[in-house]
Amino acid sequence: MQIIPKILNELQQIVGEKFVFIDDETRYDYGHDETEDYNFPPHVVVKPTTVEEVSAIMKMANINKIPVTPIGAKTGLSGGALSIHGGIGLSMERFNKIINIDEQNLQVITEPGVITQILKDAVGEKGLFYPVDPSSMGSCFIGGNIAENSGGARAVKYGVTKDYVLNLEVVLPNGEIIWTGANTLKNSTGYNLTQLMVGSEGTLGVITKIVLKLIPKVSHNVLMLVPFYKAEQACEAVSAIFRAGIVPSALEFMERDAIDWTMKYVEGVSVSIKDEIQAHLLIEVDGNYTDILFQEAEKIMQVVEQFEIDEVLFADSDEQKNALWKLRRAVGEAVKSNSVYKEEDTVVPRYELPTLLKGVKDIGNKYGFQTVCYGHAGDGNLHINIVKGNMTDENWQTEVPKGVVEIFELTVKLKGTLSGEHGIGYVQKDFMPIAFSEMELELMKGIKKVFDINNIMNPGKILPHSL
C-alpha cells in the first residue's frame, strides 16, 4: 500500500502541511515503541491537535479503508502502537493540555498526550493525588496508560488506570465523536463503554479527552528493602503481609540478578548485598499519620522476620527513597540492556507467586533459557525477562516460544492471565487462545466489529491471528 497524493493532500488540508510527515526518518521514528527491537513504520505520520481534526482524519481513513494506528509516547511493551500494516500513524503528542483540575469534585480533565508524571505533579500541586505510577511514568502518556490499562507499583493499594477513569471522549473509526459515560463516581446507566475502552489498545477508537478521579494527597510514607536468602520465601512473605491486615502502598519483588544488573546500569545507587541473598522485597506503606506508619512498618517487620532474611534497610531520607525507587524502576531497562530478551507480563493471584516463580525456573531449565524475574508482587504481577545470553540463535527461535507457551499455560492454570499491565498488542496476540476459549474470543471479535466494521482502527492487535 502507498499513500496516494490525494490522501496526503486531504491529510494536509485537515491538520496543516507541517503536521504531515512522509520522510523516512520520521516514519521510522514513529514505527517503534519499547517492544524488543520491532519497527513497523506508518506510511505517513499525522499530528492532529483537535478532536475535530481526529474526526476528519478517521472519516477519511474509514472511507478509504486506510489503517490508522494511534501513537502515544512510544513506551509500550506489547507493540500496541506499531503500524504493522503501515497506513496512518496518528501521533497524539499535540494533545498535551491538562484542561481542568477540578478541586471541587476531585477530578481532572486532560488530553491524552500529557506525560503521566506531569499530570501527577500538576494535581499534586493542588493537594490532589493521581496514584497510578507505571515505571515509565516520566515519559509515557496518560492516553497510552488508558489504552493499555497500565498498572505500576502503587496498584496494590490504589488500583490500576481503569479504577480512575470516569469518562472518555472518543473518536470512533467512522469519525463520530462520543462520550463513553458521565463524570460521576457511580454509574449504572447502560453498558460500561468507558471500561470497554480502557485496555482496548487503540483498537476501538481514539481517546481525545479523559476525565479521571483523584483522591486527596497522602503526606507520608515509609520504605524498606528486605533481603531474602530464598527467593520463594520472598514470594511467600507477600501474602503473609496482607494476611496480617496490612495493605502496603507498594510491594515489589526483585530477583538477585535484577538488582545486580541494575546497579551496574544505574549510576549513583548502591546497596551492599551478601552473596547468599536470592531476592529482595521493596515494601512501602503510606498515610497521613507517621505514628501509624511506624506501627505498620513494625508489623511488617514481625511478618518478614518469620522468614530467612538479612538486615532490613529502612530508607531514612527522601534521597534514599528516591534512590531505591530509581533502582527498582530501572530494572526493566537494565535487564534488557544486558542481552537480547523477551519480556512476559504474567499475573496470578498473589499467593500463587512462589509456584509461578518455581515453574518459570523449571520451564527455563527444560528449554535451556535463563530468566530474570521482578515486578509487582503485591498484586501477583511478575515480569519475566527471558534473556538470550549465550543461547544459540536457533534455540532462541525454536525453544523459547515453547517455553513461553508453557509459562502462559501455568499462569492460566493458577487462575492468572497473560498480561497484568503491558497489554497484548502485537507480540502476545497469538497466545490469547491459552487464556480464552473460542467463544470468548468470538465475543471480543464481535465487539471489535461493532466499533470498527472496516477493521481500520489499529488492525492486527489483541485478537489472535488477526490481520
For a copy of itself, the binding residues in 392-411 under the rule CB under 8 A are: none
Binding residues for a copy of itself restricted to 172-211, rule: CB under 8 A: 172, 176, 178-193, 195-196, 198-200
Please name which of 66, 73, 10 lies closest in space to residue 42, comparing C-alpha atoms: 66
- Rounded to an integer, what distance in angstroms lies between the CA atom of residue 430 and that of residue 275? 40
- Rounded to an integer, what distance in angstroms lies between the CA atom of residue 444 and that of residue 446? 5
Q: Which of 49, 55, 107, 116 binds a copy of itself (CB under 8 A)?
A: 107
If one asks whether residue 343 binds a copy of itself (CB under 8 A), the answer comes out as no
CB 405 within 8 A of CB 333: no
- Rounded to an integer, what distance in angstroms lies between the CA atom of residue 252 and that of residue 228? 13
| 9 or 187: CB nearest a copy of itself | 187
Binding residues for a copy of itself restricted to 247-276, rule: CB under 8 A: 247
Which strands make up the sheet holding 279-287, listed edge to edge?
313-314, 220-228, 279-287, 250-255, 370-376, 381-387, 341-347
Q: Which of 288, 306, 322, 365 binds a copy of itself (CB under 8 A)?
A: 288
If one asks whether residue 216 binds a copy of itself (CB under 8 A), the answer comes out as yes
**Which one of 136-144, 364-372, 399-407, 420-428 is the stretch in contact with a copy of itself (CB under 8 A)?**
420-428
| 216 or 389: CB nearest a copy of itself | 216
If one asks whether residue 99 binds a copy of itself (CB under 8 A), the answer comes out as no
- CA angle 354/355/359 to nearest 5° reads 115
Q: Which of 263, 340, 405, 444 binds a copy of itself (CB under 8 A)?
A: 444
Q: Which of 55, 110, 338, 417 binds a copy of itself (CB under 8 A)?
A: 417
From first CA to last CA, the distance across the chain in angstroms is 15
- Rounded to an integer, what distance in angstroms lies between the CA atom of residue 465 and that of residue 446? 15
Binding residues for a copy of itself restricted to 141-170, rule: CB under 8 A: 148-151, 155-156, 159-160, 162-163, 167
- CA angle 177/179/181 to nearest 5° reads 165
Binding residues for a copy of itself restricted to 113-142, rule: CB under 8 A: 127
Q: What is the chain's percent helix, strand, coil content, to nearest 5?
A: 40, 20, 40
| 26 or 174: CB nearest a copy of itself | 174
Q: Beta strands 165-171 and 206-213: pairing type?
A: antiparallel
| 198 or 222: CB nearest a copy of itself | 198
**Which one of 33-41, 67-75, 96-104, 317-325 is the stretch in contact with a copy of itself (CB under 8 A)?**
96-104
Residue 170 C-beta: closest distance to a copy of itself, Å: 10
| 255 or 296: CB nearest a copy of itself | 296
Q: How many residues does the chain have?
A: 467
| 111 or 257: CB nearest a copy of itself | 111
Please name which of 49, 39, 78 lies closest in space to residue 424, comparing C-alpha atoms: 78
| 150 or 221: CB nearest a copy of itself | 150
Please name which of 266, 387, 273, 241 lies closest in space to residue 328, comparing C-alpha atoms: 266
Q: Which of 38, 265, 307, 436 binds a copy of itself (CB under 8 A)?
A: 436
Residue 380 C-beta: closest distance to a copy of itself, Å: 6
Q: Which of 270, 415, 433, 465 binds a copy of itself (CB under 8 A)?
A: 415
Residue 107 C-beta: closest distance to a copy of itself, Å: 7
- Rounded to an integer, what distance in angstroms lies between the CA atom of residue 3 and that of residue 22? 9
Q: Which of 51, 101, 405, 447 binds a copy of itself (CB under 8 A)?
A: 447
| 104 or 272: CB nearest a copy of itself | 104
Q: Hey, what's the cell of 135?
A: 515505571
Q: Which residue has the cell 500541586?
A: 125
If one asks whether residue 323 binds a copy of itself (CB under 8 A), the answer comes out as no
C-beta pairs of 254-257 under 8 Å, 24+ apart in sequence: 254/279, 254/280, 254/281, 254/282, 254/328, 254/331, 254/374, 255/231, 255/279, 255/372, 255/373, 255/374, 256/231, 256/280, 257/335, 257/372
Q: Hey, what's the cell of 253?
A: 519483588
Residue 405 C-beta: closest distance to a copy of itself, Å: 15
Binding residues for a copy of itself restricted to 350-389, rule: CB under 8 A: 350-352, 376, 379-381
Residue 372 C-beta: closest distance to a copy of itself, Å: 20
Interface pattern 15-54 for a copy of itself (x via CB under 8 A): ----------------------------------------
Distances (CA, A) of 89 to 146, 149, 392, 423, 460: 18, 21, 36, 19, 14
- Rounded to an integer, what distance in angstroms lies between the CA atom of residue 349 and that of residue 177? 38
Q: Which of 125, 276, 298, 440 binds a copy of itself (CB under 8 A)?
A: 440
